[in-house]
Structure 1
Amino acid sequence: MGSVLMRHLTRVGYGVSVAANGSEMRRFYRRDGADLVLLDLNLGAEDGMDLARELVASTAAAVMIVTGRHDLQDRIDGLDAGADDYITKPFEVDELLARIRAVLRRHALEASVHDTIQLGTVALEPSAMVLRDASSGACVRLTETESRILATLMRQHGRALSRTQLLNRESLNPEDRTVDVHIGNIRRKLREGGIRNLVIWPVRGHGYRMRLERD
C-alpha cells in the first residue's frame, strides 16, 4: 500500500517518504520535516495511537490516520489523540487526495492564526523568530535554531528536556555542547533584551527546563 500511495502522491506533486516503522518515521521527520503524516496504526511492536499522540504533541505536522481498523472506538481514540482526520481501508485514492488537501488547508489556516507561543506576558513568534514581553515592551530577535529551542522549552513549560530533544536529533555525542552554546546565547539575549521572567535551568546529566517567574 505504501508504494502505491507514494506513486499517486508524487504524481500530483507531493514530496513523499515511506517509513516502515515509528523509528524510521522519526528519523525521516528529523531529517526532512513534514507538512502531513499519513499514519497506519498497525506498526508491529509500536502502538500506533501512542505514535499519533507523540506526533501531535511534539511536531508541527498534520496527522491523518490511514488504517484498516473500522471499529468505532478506534475512530474515536484516533481523533481524541489529536489526529486531523481518520480514513479506513479500502478507500478511493481521489477521496484520500481530497481529504489531504482539506487537512493541509485547515492546518495552514490554524498555523497562521496560532503562530504564537504564550507564557504569561511573554510571547514567541516562531516564524518571525521574535520574542516579545507585553509588560515591558521588550523585543528580542533570535536565530532560527534559538527560536526552535526556545519554542520547544516553552511548549513543555516546566518539563525537563534532554539535549537530543532540544536539537531534535536521534542521538548526540556526549562531548557535543552545541545545545549549551545555543542556550547560553538565548540567556544572554533574554538578559540584554530585558526579558527576565523566562528562566532556563540546567538539569544535571540531562538537559534543560524552563520556568516562568511571576513578578
Structure 2
Amino acid sequence: MDNRERTDSQAQAQASIIVVDDDQRMARMLRRNLNAAGFQVSLAANGRELRNAYRHRQPDLVLLDLNLEVEDGIDLAVELVAATSAAIIIITGRDELNDRVKGLDAGADDYIIKPFDIDELLARIRAVLRRRSLELPQTNQLELGPFCLDRTARTFCRVGSPPTCITLTETEVRILSILILHNGRVVSREQLMSREIKSPVDRSIDVHIGNIRRKLKQSKLNDIVIWPVRGFGYRLRLEP
C-alpha cells in the first residue's frame, strides 16, 4: 500500500456519515453503497432526525440534500457548521450556479448534482475526508506579517487595537492555512482541493477562494491578497 492509499484508508476507516434525504429509495441506495465501501451510515429524512442523529453521535461527514419537504437544506448546512465539526457534501438536483454558491457559502465542502455516479461520489467523500485528516502544524495559530489565523476560533485578524477580524468556515480555514504555510509560493488548485477530482467544470475551490476574498474586502483587509495564477492555482501575498 502506497502513501496515498494509506492516507485514504486512514481517513475512511470507521468514518461516520449521515445521509439526509427524504427520498427513501435514494437514501437506502446510498447507505448500501457507502456501507459496502466501509463507512458507517445513518439516515435522516428531515432536520429533526438529523439533529437527533448528530447529537447522539458526531458524524465525520454529512451528505445533505437541499430539497427537503419541511426545512431548506441551505439552512441546515449553516446549522451543521455552527453545531458540529462534520464535513458537508451537498447532493441535490438543483444545479443553478446560485444554489452552488449558496451551498458552498453556507460552509459545505463540496457540491454534487443528481443524478451522479456512485464512484464519483465515493471519490469526493474520500477527498473531503483526506483534506480534513491532512496534518497541519499542531499550533492553532499561524502568523503572516501583521496577520494571525486562529484555526480554533476560525478567525483571521490583523493585529492592532482593536484588531480587525473576519470569521471563516472550516473549509476556508484549511485553504488559508495551506496558503499561509506556502509563504507566498503558488499552491495548485489540486493541492487546495483534491487530487482525485479532475473535472474541469468543478469550480468549488474558486467559490471558497471568492468567499475569502469577499470577506477580506468587506473588512478592508486590503493589504493581503490571494492572487490567481492562470491555469494553476493561487498564492497569498502581502501588499505594501
Taking structure 1 as the reference length, the TM-score comes to: 0.52
Q: Which has the higher contact order (CA 8 A, sep 6+)?
A: 2
1:104 corresponds to which of 121, 129, 139: 129
1:43 counterpart SS class: coil
Please give the residue correspondences for 1:60-99 in structure 2 after superposition, counting only pairs within 5 Å.
Answer: 60-99=85-124
1:9 corresponds to which of 28, 34, 46: 34
1:30 corresponds to which of 44, 55, 71: 55
Change (3 A) 1:21 1:4: same
What is the CA-CA distance between 1:109 and the residue it aligns to?
2.3
Please give the residue correspondences for 1:114-133 in structure 2 after superposition, counting only pairs within 5 Å.
Answer: 116=140
2:55 counterpart SS class: helix
Change (3 A) 1:124 1:91: closer
Partners of 1:12 and 1:26 in 2: CA distance: 25
Partners of 1:48 and 1:63 in 2: CA distance: 11
Residue type of the alignment partner of 1:18: L
Partners of 1:13 and 1:44 in 2: CA distance: 30
1:99 counterpart SS class: helix
Structure 1 regions of 5+ residues with no counterpart?
126-215
Change (3 A) 1:63 1:124: closer
What is the CA-CA distance between 1:56 and the residue it aligns to?
1.2
2:67 corresponds to which of 32, 37, 42: 42
2:89 counterpart SS class: strand
Structure 2 regions of 5+ residues with no counterpart?
1-25, 143-149, 153-240
CA offsets 1:103-160 (integer angstroms, 9 cap, x no match): 00111227x5578489xxxx998xxxxxxxxxxxxxxxxxxxxxxxxxxxxxxxxxxx
2:116 counterpart SS class: coil
CA offsets 1:16-52 (integer angstroms, 9 cap, x no match): 0010101101111111210000000112121110110
Give 1 or 2 for the bigger CA radius of gyration: 1
Superposition CA RMSD, Å? 2.7
1:49 counterpart SS class: helix
Residues 62 and 86, structure 2, Cα contact 8 Å, conserved in 1: yes
Partners of 2:105 and 2:91 in 1: CA distance: 15
What is the CA-CA distance between 1:67 and the residue it aligns to?
0.6
Identity %: 60
Matching residue of 2:238: none
Taking structure 2 as the reference length, the TM-score comes to: 0.47
Partners of 1:70 and 1:5 in 2: CA distance: 20
What is the CA-CA distance between 1:88 and the residue it aligns to?
0.5
Please give the residue correspondences for 1:185-196 in structure 2 after superposition, counting only pairs within 5 Å.
Answer: none
The answer to whether the aligner puts 1:20 opposite 2:45 as a matched pair is yes
Change (3 A) 1:41 1:14: same
Matching residue of 1:56: 81
Partners of 1:54 and 1:80 in 2: CA distance: 13
